[in-house]
Chain A
Amino acid sequence: MRTLADLSLRWKIPLRVVAAVVGTALAVTAALVARDYDLVRQNLEGHARSMGRVLAHTLVMPVLHDDIWRAYEILQSAHEPNPAAPELQAQVVLVTDADYRVFVSTRPRAFPIGTSAAAPGGAYGLLRAELSRGGPTDQRILEPADSALFFIMTPLIADGVALGHVILAYAKPALLPRFLGQVGRAAWVTLVVLLILLPVSWVWARRTAQPLLRLAGAMKQIPLELEAARLADLPRSGDEIGQLGEAFRRMVAEMKVKQEMERQMLSSERLAAIGRLTAGIAHEINNPLTGMLTAINTFQRHRDDPQRAERTLSLLERGLSQIRNTVSALLVEAKVEDRSFAPEDIDDLLILVEAEAHAQAVRVVVDGRLAEPVPLPATLVRQIVLNLLLNAVTAAGEGGTVRLNACTSPRGLTLAVFNDGAHIEQHDMPYLFEPFATGREAGHGLGLWIVYQITRQLDGTIAVESEPDATTFTIEIPYGKSE
């Protein structure tokens, strides 16, 4: 269900105008009703007071002369109905003597001559009590709460002596018919005002809402259709809506600049990634090449040893197939069947790093060997170990020692490469596996990044412990990922 807050401004503004008009009409009507009642009341009271005074004056002689009939005729003339203002006609006019007995009244049956005026009871009983209060010459108004009448009591004074009272009883002004009349008139006026104001407010609402609706529509196009949003017909004015449109245009322009920058950044990033990949491939091809060239060099020097020739050829074959596998990894469709990592691979790796180790005068020791092939892709594991060994040889430095330990468990293969060179500073640890994050002058900083990428590909883990003269990289690779 739509709440009022969800309504479009197109409806809200006319509704608010209606509410304002109706509210004003209600307030004005209430004020008018109250004022009208006051006026009627004052008018009636003034009329009743002057009528009481006139009657009291006129009745002095008939009362003094005990002329009941004349007094009655005077009351009758005061009691005549006035069609123009029926509320000004007294309901009862009563003349009492000094003992509150009826001298004459306009209703002889209800107030027989000579009986107590309090006899009818109700408010008339209260009047007698009221007469005993206040000055004897005061005109009094009594408005008993439980009576539909209110009373004006005027003393009949002859030469300063109170002969009795003239009591006029009037109906209290009826509130309801007046109220209904006023409300009816107010309703008509309100209707007329609404008939005039509603179309005006309708047009006004459209004029006010239109730019906001256009703005809202334009905002919905962000960020996908920025160009359309930029071209949207937004209000151009000095008021808040105009300012909003201006701000929106500015915002769209800024977003466009930002989007352009992002696109440029994205393409340069892609170029960097391609460069990184190329560098990685070059690095991986380069790694076995050095070892193989060394092996060929050694073979040329001992050409007549057939056994050596055999070994050299075998090493070259494995080295070249590693390169082929590395290259084929780039070509998605050319999936090359890989073999399992075997004990000979460790010999190969030692030979491949031999030249480097020799140049650095680093001793490479193998602490643990494999007894049989493990079900892990040889090319990837060789890549890991070759990278770690070359890094370790470099890290061990002149006369250092590098240790390789390979052991198997039922769950996987654990490889540990140790060197006793300079340790890795603590603040370098977080960036260890990021590309080009090298701590050395030589090298590309791609070795550990490749190790990390391959290990993750094989669902393995890498642990690094480094303290002065003892840095160990431990790789655990579970079986079963790539069979």
Chain B
Amino acid sequence: MNRDNAPCEAAGRRTFLRAAGAVVALPVLPVRAEEAPVRIGLTPVFLDDQMSFLSEWRRWLEVKLGRSVVFVQRGSYREVMDLLLAGKLDFAWVCGYPYVLHRQELKLVAVPLWRGGPWYQSYLIVPADDSRTKTLADLRGKVFAYSDPDSNSGYLYPRYLLTTQGENPADFFSRSFFTWAHRKVVEAVGIALADGGAVDGYVWETLAESHPDLTRATRVIGRSPPLGYPPFVARSDLPTAELARFRTVLLEMAADPQGMDLLHRLRLDGFTPGKPDHFDEIARMAARVRNP
């Protein structure tokens, strides 16, 4: 309970002091407020539209970090990556694909554990009422929904698969479009706006629990091999102490009851430090797609 109240009091005081400062212009600010907030970029690698969850998580992080935390969300992976690479963000939860593309400029912080390991799959889905489509090859000339051009599971994997089958991903489908979120790929396929789609398996499984009506309208026709789970990364010039502090908070999240509760809501088991070579398979696929 104390923990719960602390951030509230802190936030309340900050707001008050900021207002007071504006009026009286006296620079008597507490030490904490002098520090810039921790800026964390979020992408739709998870269900990032649960505002109440985000607010609780942010408060928890603020308590654990002893600093204010700002979540930054953007319409695409790329915008978040650009902010991170430009040093406007300290950390970001990104997909493995952009991570491997910028492995040199980023530092791996931690990898979430899902169903026991730092792995997840890409799912290929079709509308539930389409019983004829068995494989991706059957979707030739159809409309396909990708989630994001920088998504591993929602873009890279299906294109990699087509490439290995000798197809040119650029003209295999008659039309393709991005929904900019995995959840919306499920929706687009569910209403048959697209004849097929590629979606983060973790998001699909989580939706299957929280919104079974959405996933029931789709049918999974293919799953990728286990691939590196979207990691938390930091900008390369972030002070090591800050990185370590944040990594410790994440790694100890599972040990904290409230942190465990938050993890449970994310359907995650915890965090592991992870290694960059976790994502070698993604890097290999990316290379293959680039040079078929």
Identify the A interface with B (CB < 8 A): 66-69, 72, 104, 108-109, 112-114
Q: Which residues of A contact B192 (CB under 8 A)?
A: 108-109, 112
Q: A108-B192, A109-B192, A113-B193 are in contact. Are A66 and B143 (CB under 8 A)?
A: no
The distance in angstroms between the C-alpha atoms of A124 and B145, with both chains bound, is 27
Determine whether the beta carbon of A113 is less than 8 Å from that of B178: no
Q: Which residues of B contact A109 (CB under 8 A)?
A: 191-192
The distance in angstroms between the C-alpha atoms of A72 and B143, with both chains bound, is 14
The distance in angstroms between the C-alpha atoms of A198 and B222, with both chains bound, is 80
27 residue pairs A–B, Cβ–Cβ below 8 Å = A66-B177, A67-B177, A67-B178, A68-B175, A68-B177, A68-B193, A69-B145, A69-B177, A69-B178, A69-B179, A69-B180, A69-B184, A69-B188, A69-B193, A72-B188, A72-B193, A108-B193, A109-B191, A109-B192, A112-B143, A112-B192, A112-B195, A113-B143, A113-B193, A113-B194, A114-B143, A114-B174
Q: Which residues of B contact A69 (CB under 8 A)?
A: 145, 177-180, 184, 188, 193
Q: Which residues of A contact B178 (CB under 8 A)?
A: 67, 69
The distance in angstroms between the C-alpha atoms of A104 and B193, with both chains bound, is 8
Scoring B175, B177, B188, B195 by chain A CB atoms within 10 A of each residue's CB, the highest score goes to B177
The distance in angstroms between the C-alpha atoms of A108 and B143, with both chains bound, is 11
A65 to chain B, nearest CB (A): 10
The distance in angstroms between the C-alpha atoms of A114 and B176, with both chains bound, is 11
Residues in B163-196 with C-beta less than 8 Å from chain A: 174-175, 177-180, 184, 188, 191-195
- For the complex, count residues of B whose C-beta is within 8 A of A: 15
Q: B180: nearest residue on chain A (CB-CB)? A: A69
The distance in angstroms between the C-alpha atoms of A114 and B194, with both chains bound, is 11
B133 to chain A, nearest CB (A): 14
Q: A69-B180, A114-B143 are in contact. Are A108 and B191 (CB under 8 A)?
A: yes
Interface mask (B112-152 → A, CB under 8 Å = 1, otherwise 0): 00000000000000000000000000000001010000000
Q: B174: nearest residue on chain A (CB-CB)? A: A114
Residues in B190-204 with C-beta less than 8 Å from chain A: 191-195
B197 to chain A, nearest CB (A): 11
Q: A106: nearest residue on chain B (CB-CB)? A: B191
Q: Which residues of B contact A104 (CB under 8 A)?
A: 193
A437 to chain B, nearest CB (A): 125
The distance in angstroms between the C-alpha atoms of A72 and B187, with both chains bound, is 11
Q: Which residues of A contact B193 (CB under 8 A)?
A: 68-69, 72, 104, 108, 113
Residues in B9-44 with C-beta less than 8 Å from chain A: none
The distance in angstroms between the C-alpha atoms of A67 and B179, with both chains bound, is 8
A98 to chain B, nearest CB (A): 16
Q: A72: nearest residue on chain B (CB-CB)? A: B193
The distance in angstroms between the C-alpha atoms of A72 and B174, with both chains bound, is 18
Q: Which residues of B contact A108 (CB under 8 A)?
A: 191-193
Task: List 9 tightest A-B contacts by C-beta distance, closest first.
Answer: A68-B177, A108-B193, A69-B179, A108-B192, A113-B143, A109-B192, A69-B177, A114-B175, A108-B191
B174 to chain A, nearest CB (A): 6
The distance in angstroms between the C-alpha atoms of A69 and B180, with both chains bound, is 9
Q: B179: nearest residue on chain A (CB-CB)? A: A69
A40 to chain B, nearest CB (A): 31
The distance in angstroms between the C-alpha atoms of A108 and B197, with both chains bound, is 15
The distance in angstroms between the C-alpha atoms of A85 and B196, with both chains bound, is 36
B196 to chain A, nearest CB (A): 12
Q: A67: nearest residue on chain B (CB-CB)? A: B177
Determine whether the beta carbon of A113 is less than 8 Å from that of B175: yes
Known: A67-B177, A112-B192. 13 other contacts (CB 8 A): A68-B177, A69-B177, A69-B178, A69-B180, A69-B184, A69-B188, A69-B193, A108-B193, A109-B192, A112-B143, A113-B175, A113-B194, A114-B143
The distance in angstroms between the C-alpha atoms of A108 and B195, with both chains bound, is 10
Q: Which residues of B contact A72 (CB under 8 A)?
A: 188, 193
B142 to chain A, nearest CB (A): 9
Q: Which residues of B contact A113 (CB under 8 A)?
A: 143, 175, 193-194
The distance in angstroms between the C-alpha atoms of A112 and B173, with both chains bound, is 14
B186 to chain A, nearest CB (A): 12
The distance in angstroms between the C-alpha atoms of A109 and B189, with both chains bound, is 11
The distance in angstroms between the C-alpha atoms of A108 and B194, with both chains bound, is 8
The distance in angstroms between the C-alpha atoms of A72 and B145, with both chains bound, is 13
Q: Which residues of A contact B174 (CB under 8 A)?
A: 114
Q: Which residues of B contact A67 (CB under 8 A)?
A: 177-178
Q: Which residues of A contact B191 (CB under 8 A)?
A: 108-109
Q: B176: nearest residue on chain A (CB-CB)? A: A68
The distance in angstroms between the C-alpha atoms of A114 and B195, with both chains bound, is 12
Q: B146: nearest residue on chain A (CB-CB)? A: A69
Q: Which residues of A contact B145 (CB under 8 A)?
A: 69
The distance in angstroms between the C-alpha atoms of A445 and B178, with both chains bound, is 142
The distance in angstroms between the C-alpha atoms of A113 and B142, with both chains bound, is 9
A75 to chain B, nearest CB (A): 10
Q: Which residues of B contact A68 (CB under 8 A)?
A: 175, 177, 193
A225 to chain B, nearest CB (A): 95
A68 to chain B, nearest CB (A): 4
Q: A105: nearest residue on chain B (CB-CB)? A: B193
Q: Which residues of A contact B143 (CB under 8 A)?
A: 112-114
The distance in angstroms between the C-alpha atoms of A69 and B174, with both chains bound, is 16
Q: Which residues of A contact B184 (CB under 8 A)?
A: 69
